[in-house]
Amino acid sequence: MPSYTAPTKDMQYILHDVLNVSGRDIPGYDELDREFTSAILEEAGKLAVQVLQPLNVVGDQQGCKLENGVVRAPEGFKAAYDEMRGGGWTGLDMDPDYGGQGMPNIMLTATGEMFSSANMAFQMYNGLTHGAMSAIHAHGSAEQKASYLPNMISGDWTGTMNLTEPQCGTDLGLIRTKAEPQEDGSYAITGQKIWISAGEHDLSDNIIHLVLAKIPGGPEGVKGISLFIVPKFIVNEDGSLGDRNTLSCGGLEHKMGIHGNATCVMNYDGAKGFLIGEVNKGMRAMFTMMNEARLSVGLQGYAQGEVAYQNALAFAQDRLQGRDVTGVKAPDKAADPIIVHPDVRRNLMDQKSFVEGARAFAFWGSTLLDEGHRKQDKQAEDLVSLLIPVLKGFLTDKGFETTVLAQQTLGGSGFTQEWGLEQFVRDARITMIYEGTNGVQSLDLVGRKLGLNGGKTVMDFFELVKGFIKENEDNTALKEDFLDPLKRASKDLQSAGMYFMAEGMKNPNNALSGSYDFMHLFGHVCLGLMWARMAKASMAALEAGDTDTEFHETKLATGRYYMARQLPMTGTHLARITSGAEPVMALAAANF
């Protein structure tokens, strides 16, 4: 059985030593001192370790059951959910006017990582509710907010997001679900939605579905899509639950992983829906929540990597097999623990250096979200918009890869269900697909985000990297191991961007053929920057006499590994990118 330890010490390090959150001029950040964040993280960690993690295997093995239109979540999920909402976790970052705790996104990110590591399928029920609450908060009328938010924030009700239909996933312009205006101002929603996470279950009293649909007679394509609130039970004016709406779960998907989350086919049969936001502005309403949603999926990716790494490490320190070639390490035992072997370490260091770099990157992205929302800082908001496809695409690709590496550490045991590693691989796999496939993330990055503010935002990013390097170049200890590799990697990224500008003008496919590599190249530069920042912080701490020298020396060694062994990938990505569209597009579709 796999285990999980909450990485609260590492989180505190990133929050305070690296990001200095309580010193930041962002509304709400002044209360985030070490004691405060520690109390929150420890509590969340307890919930994750004691309540959620033991249900992870249960959820995987039992899955969800649909019987007579009712979906039952796995055993224990309902009690765990009650404990979670009882602790106020479902409204952690929500508006206090509606009962939320009003904390910044950074605390949602930090606690969310632990909940995801412990039980990703479970945490998804909260994730979808969060998306629905955010949409209602951002676009709902005062009445809608009053009517739905308090019960969603308290966790009495949950929520969903209904976008996909059988004929349309990425291309939402193809949506067929209809919303016909009714005399009472509501709409009759008719159509089928698929892959609706948490679409139906027994954790909450009501489920508030947010549904994209087309009002007949509206514009073609994405310009004719509106967003609707479609509750499972209609909410009466006094707040009590009224009629059961005409919507139902038509089936559960059988999936590779996340078995504990109910992935539903949802059938809307003239269901009563309420327009949220403006007519035909449904896509815009969706987009406002997209940054948070995509960051949270990036988080899921490395969170699965984290828990997989923890279990791989425990195995490597315990399993005896072979001898250290440079000298026996455990003479009293039949063999040495496999962590002595260089190739096992190479594998573990790949995992560790990614996960810790990813955490810093995600936390940084989360502070940028807060800076954008809470401080109305347009530059921060644009910067995080640029980074979001990287946070989602790179962290989930590498997060999945990390689970595969961790599984490999266990050899044959990694392939058996008993050790639990294979579940992490299967669960992590979805993060590369949902909330926009990683291919779509790369198109967003190259096709939209690079051109943000006429290219100024990406230049801001380069300036930020350059500024950090320049600011610290007198630090000789930092320079050789961290700043120089970061500079080289950043140059590769700039060269790739310049290639896109020059060649993408001639043929857009020159840019689009390299979008995926660009996303990864960008991700490596971001993790390189994070490791350089962590190295700086740890060097400063050691210099200031921090007595936890092992912790900081370990950070430095892990960072050096990333710079030496992972960052060289940028050269390969650049070479692929600059080979252009020709090799990619040469074949006629029929000749594949």
The residue within the footprint of its own copies, chosen from 159, 257, 389, 393 (CB under 8 A), is: 257
> CB 370 → its own copies: shortest distance, Å?
31
CB of 71 to its own copies, least distance (A): 17
CA distance 116 to 591: 43
236 sits near its own copies (criterion: CB under 8 A): no
What residues numbered 502-531 form the site for its own copies, per CB under 8 A? Answer: 507-509, 512-513, 515-516
Contact window for its own copies (CB under 8 A) among 10-18, 28-36, 467-475, 562-570? 562-570
Q: Please say which residue, 51 or 519, places its beta carbon nearer to its own copies.
A: 519
Q: Is 413 exposed, middle or buried (0-12, 13-18, 19+ CB in 10 A)?
A: middle
Query: Tokens 């964040």 belong to which residue?
Result: 37
Does position 437 bind its own copies by CB under 8 A?
A: yes
Binding to its own copies (CB under 8 A) within 33-52 occurs at none
Q: Is 451 in the site for its own copies (CB under 8 A)?
A: no
Label each residue of 6-74 as H, E or C: CCHHHHHHHHHHHCCHHHCCCCCCCCCCHHHHHHHHHHHHHHHHHHHCHHHHHHHHHCCEEECCEEECC
Report how far Cα 297 is from the mean position of its chain's Cα atoms: 2
Closer residue to its own copies in complex, CB, 82/418: 418
Using CB under 8 A as the binding rule, whether residue 418 contacts its own copies is answered as: yes
Chain positions 153 to 172 lying near its own copies, rule: CB under 8 A, are 164, 167-171
301 within 8 A of 398, measured Cβ to Cβ: yes
| Region binding its own copies by CB under 8 A among candidate stretches 67-75, 181-189, 202-210, 247-255 | 247-255
Q: Is 455 one of the binding residues for its own copies (CB under 8 A)?
A: no
Q: Do residues 158 and 149 touch, judged by C-beta distance below 8 A?
A: no
Under 8 Å CB-to-CB from 101, ≥6 apart: which residues? 88, 91, 92, 93, 94
The only residue of 119, 407, 457, 490 in contact with its own copies, by rule CB under 8 A: 407
Is residue 322 within the footprint of its own copies (CB under 8 A)? Answer: yes
Candidates 96, 317, 463, 498; binder of its own copies (CB under 8 A) is 317
- The reply to whether 540 sits near its own copies by the rule CB under 8 A is no
Binds its own copies by CB under 8 A, chosen from 234, 290, 313, 452: 313
**Looking at 70-78, 131-139, 425-433, 448-456, which segment touches its own copies (CB under 8 A)?**
425-433
Q: Which amino acid is at 376?
A: Q
Binding to its own copies (CB under 8 A) within 340-369 occurs at 340-349, 352
> Of the candidates 339, 360, 387, 532, which one interacts with its own copies according to CB under 8 A?
339
Residues contacting its own copies: total by CB under 8 A: 93
Give the residue numbers annotated as catalytic, written as ranges: 435
Cα–Cα–Cα angle for 27, 31, 36, nearest 5°? 145
8 Å CB contact between 435 and 293: yes
Considering the complex, what minimum distance in angstroms separates the CB of residue 5 from its own copies?
13
What own/partner pairs with CB < 8 Å and gap ≥ 24 does 65-70 have? Answer: 65/252, 66/200, 66/249, 66/251, 66/252, 66/262, 69/200, 69/248, 69/249, 70/200, 70/202
* Rounded distance between C-alpha atoms, residue 349 and residue 337, angstroms: 16
Q: Map 266-316 to HEC letters.
A: EEEEEEEEEEECCCCCHHHHHHHHHHHHHHHHHHHHHHHHHHHHHHHHHHH
Least distance in angstroms from the C-beta of 299 to its own copies: 19
Site for its own copies in 377-406 (CB under 8 A): 400, 404
